[in-house]
Amino acid sequence: MRSIFFIFLFATCFLGAQKPSPAQLEWHATELYLFLHFGPNTFTDMEWGLGTETEDMFNPTNLDCDQWCTVAKSAGAKGLIITAKHHDGFCLWPSAFSKHTVRESKWKDGKGDVLRELSNACKRNGLKLGLYLSPWDRNHPKYGTSEYNDIYIKTMTELMTQYGDLFEFWWDGANGEGPNGKRQVYDFHRFEQEAVKMQPNAVIFSDIGPGCRWAGNEQGTIGETNWCMLDTAGFKRGEGGPPTDTLQTGNFNGKNWIPAECDVSIRPGWFYHEAEDSKVKTPEQIWSIYLRSVGHGANLILNVPPDRSGRIHPIDSAHLAEFGRLKTQRTKDNLVQSGVLGGQKQVGTAVLFDRNPKTYMRMPKQKNLQYIELKLTSLGVNRFFKVQEYLGDGQFVSAFEVQGYDTTAHQWISLYKGSTIGSRRLIPLPDEFKTDRLRLVVLSTRSGVRAKISEIAVFR
């Protein structure tokens, strides 16, 4: 009996699961956060620094992490993730394991620590903090030797023990040569073991997780079908990762809960370049990316690089504030007045409208009753349909339909057909069609398990 228990424990700890951990479930609700690429590249106009930049290059004149937080909040973002160290090896904190850090720079006479300032600002502003620590390091003299794996763990330990709780940790897949022309063989197995010990609630990003997965492109979008499960056996991080289409869709019956995160920059590059000031994505462009990432059940990490002053540029911050305003305007007032489950008038559906993703309805067993009918407050053209699946026990819906009642022809018509729902779907509705009655129909589920729908909303 005891050994069976331990085998079970082992299996659930190390082999992943087809449902989220409590930390992952919370991560799903984080939806949108900012990415901050900041470092020597900001000052040299590069994207991939060489690692030979002098430390004095890094010298923001007016670093203002509170401004970053204000901008994040104006966009409705719930956290920030910063490049603590990018491929050039420069550390934005005074690491004891490198001589290429803020301590060696002129900035604040070598007494500055960007991570300290950001983690304090996040606490003041009620935002979550995440960190990016590039495994590829073009500066560190030990890169390309087995000692570097120890150095990586030591620097990761500094990040994971000195700046409070982290909601996410980023392992970039890019892997090139170090200063000695060598390539590193990373000991990700140990990195993971150590990370989990120090920050069990940090969701670890990489091509194959373990916490969340890359979506397979840097445009910030994911396709219509988006399963949170992924099979990782035989795949590596970086080169050797799963094919793009698998990263996009996940695996229908995949063994591990490794949901998708979409990454994209508000500018063409990841770092700030003055020449790109006229190429900042517009609020409507950001909204359309939001629909195709968060609206398809993924999380969106939107890169907004601080400029040489150490502030987010006024063009970027204006676009983000306007995006935030559009988002609120388009998804604020839920027009659903009441809902009925599969023609069973007696079953209360209030849990679908309580804005709590943890309360849900289980769809009936009978095939012909697997729909929820909604009565809206008035007749009109509806713009967006939002639906969320409760994920605590896994993801199951594999086909669904949104129908509207045509009040002139007196019949139900199909407005949208989709596959997965997952964390959430935000679906644009046809422009011309007026109605005050809509239906969500669940057409099929994985293994025929009864779907759990947690929230529904209709916006105008």
From the list 56-64, 109-117, 138-146, 172-180, the region that binds ligand FUL by CB under 6 A is: 172-180
| 172 near ligand FUL, judged by CB under 6 A | yes
From the list 167-175, 220-228, 367-375, 436-444, the region that binds ligand FUL by CB under 6 A is: 167-175
Residue 76: which of Ca ion, ligand FUL, none does it interact with, CB under 5 to 8 A by kind?
none
* Closest separation in Å from C-beta 371 to Ca ion: 18
CB nearer to ligand FUL: give 263 or 307: 263
* Closest separation in Å from C-beta 417 to ligand FUL: 34
Q: Are 201 and 128 in contact (CB under 8 A)?
A: no
Dihedral angle computed from the Cα positions of residues 3, 8, 12 and 16, in that order, rounded to the nearest 10 degrees: 110
* Closest separation in Å from C-beta 212 to ligand FUL: 14
* Closest separation in Å from C-beta 28 to Ca ion: 14
* Closest separation in Å from C-beta 433 to ligand FUL: 40
- 257 three-state secondary structure: strand
CB nearer to ligand FUL: give 152 or 390: 152
Return the amino acid letter for 154: K
Of 7, 13, 174, 350, the one binding ligand FUL (CB under 6 A) is: 174
Q: Using CB under 5 A as the criterion, which residues of the chain lie in contact with Ca ion when the complex forms?
A: 351, 354, 356, 359, 454-455
* Closest separation in Å from C-beta 360 to Ca ion: 6
Report the DSSP beta bridge partners of residue 128.
79
Lookup: tokens for 245:
């289409």
| 163 near ligand FUL, judged by CB under 6 A | no
From the list 168-176, 335-343, 423-431, 447-455, the region that binds ligand FUL by CB under 6 A is: 168-176
Lookup: tokens for 128:
């979550």
Give the containing element (helix H, strand E) for 149. helix 146-162
Q: Is 98 exposed, middle or buried (0-12, 13-18, 19+ CB in 10 A)?
A: buried
Residue 351: which of ligand FUL, Ca ion, none does it interact with, CB under 5 to 8 A by kind?
Ca ion
**How many binding residues for ligand FUL (CB under 6 A)?**
6
Q: What share of the chain is helix, strand, coil (3-state, %, to 5)?
A: 30, 25, 45
| 168 near ligand FUL, judged by CB under 6 A | no
CB nearer to Ca ion: give 54 or 356: 356
Residue recorded with tokens 């969106």 = 300
* Closest separation in Å from C-beta 356 to Ca ion: 4
CB nearer to ligand FUL: give 47 or 187: 47
The sheet with strand 336-341 has its strands ordered as: 336-341, 371-381, 434-445, 397-406, 411-418
Lookup: tokens for 456:
């529904």
- 36 three-state secondary structure: strand
The DSSP string of 371-418 is EEEEEEEEEEE--EEEEEE--TT---EEEEEEEEEETTTTEEEEEEEE
Residue 174: which of ligand FUL, Ca ion, none does it interact with, CB under 5 to 8 A by kind?
ligand FUL
Q: Are 115 and 81 in contact (CB under 8 A)?
A: no
* Closest separation in Å from C-beta 178 to ligand FUL: 15
* Closest separation in Å from C-beta 285 to Ca ion: 31
Query: Which x/- pattern, by CB under 6 A, does the window 44-63 give for ligand FUL?
Result: ---x----------------
Residue 350: which of ligand FUL, Ca ion, none does it interact with, CB under 5 to 8 A by kind?
none
Of 27, 43, 270, 390, the one binding ligand FUL (CB under 6 A) is: 270
Residue 192: which of ligand FUL, Ca ion, none does it interact with, CB under 5 to 8 A by kind?
none
Of 31, 231, 261, 263, the one binding ligand FUL (CB under 6 A) is: 263
Could you give the C-alpha distances from 350 to 53, 165, 323, 346, 394, in angstroms and in order? 59, 35, 30, 12, 22
Q: Are 59 and 327 in contact (CB under 8 A)?
A: no
Contacting residues for 150 by C-beta, under 8 A, at least 6 apart: none
Count of C-beta atoms within a 10 Å radius of residue 115: 22
CB nearer to ligand FUL: give 289 or 361: 289
CB nearer to ligand FUL: give 88 or 436: 88
Dihedral angle computed from the Cα positions of residues 17, 20, 22 and 25, in that order, rounded to the nearest 10 degrees: 170
Report CA 251 to chain centroid distance, whole Å: 18
Report CA 123 to chain centroid distance, whole Å: 20
Residue 359: which of Ca ion, ligand FUL, none does it interact with, CB under 5 to 8 A by kind?
Ca ion
Closest residue by Cα to residue 438 from 391, 385, 392: 385
* Closest separation in Å from C-beta 374 to ligand FUL: 40
* Closest separation in Å from C-beta 243 to ligand FUL: 17
Binding site for ligand FUL (CB under 6 A): 47, 172-174, 263, 270
